[in-house]
Amino acid sequence: MARGDAPQDSYHLVGISFFILGLGTLLPWNFFITAIPYFQGRLAGPLNSTAGTLSANHTEPEDTFNFNNWVTLLSQLPLLLFTLLNSFLYQCIPEPVRVLGSLLAVLLLFALTAALVKVDVSPRPFFGITMASVCLINSFSAVLQGSLFGQLGTMPSTYSTLFLSGQGLAGIFAALAMLMSMASGVDAQTSALAYFIAPCVGILVSIVCYLSLPRLKFARYYLAKKPSQAQAQELETKAELLQSDEKNGIPSRPQKVALTPDLDPVKEPGLEPELEPDEPQVPGKPSVFVVFRKIWLTALCLVLVFTVTLSVFPAITAMVTSSTSPGKWSQFFNPICCFLLFNVMDWLGRSLTSYFLWPNEDSRLLPLLVCLRFLFVPLFMLCHVPQRSRLPILFAQDAYFITFMLLFAASNGYLVSLTMCLAPRQVLPHEREVAGALMTFFLALGLSCGASLSFLFKALL
């Protein structure tokens, strides 16, 4: 909560800046996975009128490099690694260097990706360059995201919500950019170039927003606080943030916990402070093991949710094509029904936790609902994927895939947000920060497990 003497956020410029910064942190991942048909076309041969297009159709080349699987795995492993390394990086590298350095590195790597559109590169070197870019971009994005969350710790919790909301809309932005580039009617090279220039512009705007923060009085008031002044606000903000979704920041009736720092008063010689009989004792440092024992089931549910999601999305779902005859709908089927539909329904699913939390933290129904999502794996594998050698096609009609995607995306968003909201309720107030750190680690673990399993499921097709 903002203090009474705090300046006003004129024209909501600070809020808009953090919203754009949130959008910029997840643009790289979303733009890469949405452009899977383009990369598959490039890996099949030179970019021309039929290869390297942004759309998928019945003549889609075989994914001999397993691009879908590798791009997912090499996007998530850096997240898991830098989740573990964050505490060391924060101590060694100043915050402005981490934020601006990461943004500039992502911008340069995306500029390289855009430049490669116009360069004729054979498939194997192109695959190696692209995978190296994916790994580096997501490494810098992980550092960027963690650094910005550190800044948000000194801000009112509303700004954490805006930042996370920007992250939640990154996937929709990428899907719309793809549809616009496809609908422009230009040749494949120009369409792909325009598509990859869009995130470069977004990252440039993010850099401008970050550089403008020190010039805004409201941002200076909070970001320039001394540690002793900011600690209470940071702990309160983190307590609220843990009850919001990691991606969209939809608050679930946050229960504020006023946590104040343990500041020792200056002791005068011969004078010892006396404790009142009923004065509550300051809790000690929370034990990671004790906190884990309280939230292990919720953390396991979070791992399983992301394991199911990343095992088939986008590795399997991006391969599904329309069963109708070639035409406009066949060309736009996957961008709309896979990527745009997933991101919209995922966002709506996360938004539901603003209105109700069901089942609650004491219910055993949550693990059952999470395990039921494993049914989506065979359902998507039996959809209309022409490139298969083992399993039959049982759900050839487009309506089946659309129905599965609606339920798949909405359940992913809701269950992810629900588990992130329930975890802080299962621990004591002073343990919530540790609970949040553990849930963030298990979130990254689930993403990595799902990306690894995608290789197996694709091989079973």
Sign of CA dihedral 186, 191, 193, 194: positive
pLDDT on residue 395: 95
Share of the chain above pLDDT 90, in %: 39
Which tens digit of pLDDT belongs to each residue from 161-207? 788 788 878 889 999 988 888 888 777 788 888 899 989 999 999 99
pLDDT tens digits, residue range 12-50? 899 999 999 989 988 888 898 888 888 888 888 655 444
Over residues 369-427, the pLDDT tens digits come to: 999 999 999 999 999 998 888 999 999 999 999 999 999 999 999 999 899 888 888 98
Mean pLDDT, range 283-292, rounded to an integer: 82
* pLDDT at position 378: 96
Instruction: Provide long-range contacts, Cβ within 8 A and 24+ apart, for 392-400.
Output: 396/323, 397/323, 398/322, 398/323, 398/324, 398/333, 398/337
Q: Where are the beta strands (DSSP E) in 203-270?
A: none
Phi, psi of 439 (to 5 degrees): -65, -35
Contact yes or no for 189/103 (Cβ under 8 A): no
Report the distance separating Cα 418 and Cα 57, nearest Å: 37
Q: What is the pLDDT of residue 54?
A: 63
The candidate with the shortest Cα–Cα distance to 143, out of 87, 196, 199, 219, is 87
Name which residue leads in pLDDT, 155 or 64.
155
What per-residue confidence (pLDDT) applies to 102? 93
**Residue 214 in contact with residue 220, Cβ under 8 Å?**
yes
Min mean pLDDT across 5-9, 266-270, 342-346, 395-399 is at: 266-270
pLDDT greater than 90 at residue 107? yes
β partners of residue 395:
383
Q: Report the pLDDT value the prediction gives residue 225, as an integer from 0 to 100.
A: 58
Model confidence pLDDT, tens digit, residues 129-159: 999 999 999 889 888 888 888 787 777 878 8
Q: Is the pTM of this model over 0.85?
A: no
Q: Which residue has the higher pLDDT, 288 or 316?
A: 316
pLDDT reported for residue 249: 38
Is a pLDDT exceeding 50 seen at residue 257? Answer: no
Taking each continuous run of H as one helix and of E as one strand, the counts in the chain are: 17, 0
Mean pLDDT, residues 420-442 taken together: 85
Q: Is the pLDDT of residue 271 over 50?
A: no
Which residues make beta-bridge pairs with 383? 395
Report whether pLDDT(301) > 60: yes
What is the number of residues in the chain?
461
In this prediction, what percent of the chain has a pLDDT beyond 70? Answer: 81
Per-residue pLDDT at 306: 95
Q: Distance (Å, rounded) from C-alpha 153 to C-alpha 227?
A: 11
Give the whole-angstrom CA distance, residue 157 versus residue 51: 47
Instruction: Please determine, for residue 443, whether its predicted confidence score (pLDDT) is greater than 50.
Output: yes
Cβ partners under 8 Å of residue 95, min gap 6 = 147, 150, 151
Please write the tens of the pLDDT for every residue from 343-353.
999 989 988 88
Residue 357 has pLDDT above 90, yes or no: no
Measured distance CA(313)–CA(266) in Å, rounded: 58
Note the pLDDT of residue 37. Answer: 80
What pLDDT was estimated at residue 87? 64
Q: H-helix or E-strand containing 378?
A: helix 376-381
More confident residue, 318 or 151: 318
Residue 19 token pair: 């919203």
pLDDT score of 252: 36
Q: Can you list the domains of the chain with their CATH numbers?
A: 11-224 (1.20.1250.20), 255-266+281-461 (1.20.1250)
pLDDT category at 237 given cuts 50, 70, 90 is very low
Query: pLDDT at position 312, please?
Result: 96
Alpha helix (H) residue ranges in 13-66: 13-34, 36-44
- From residue 311, alpha-carbon distances to 70, 299, 303, 391 in Å are 12, 18, 12, 17
CA distances from 59 to 214, 325, 429 (A): 52, 12, 56
In whole numbers, what is the pLDDT of the chain averaged over residues? 81
pLDDT at 339 over 90: yes
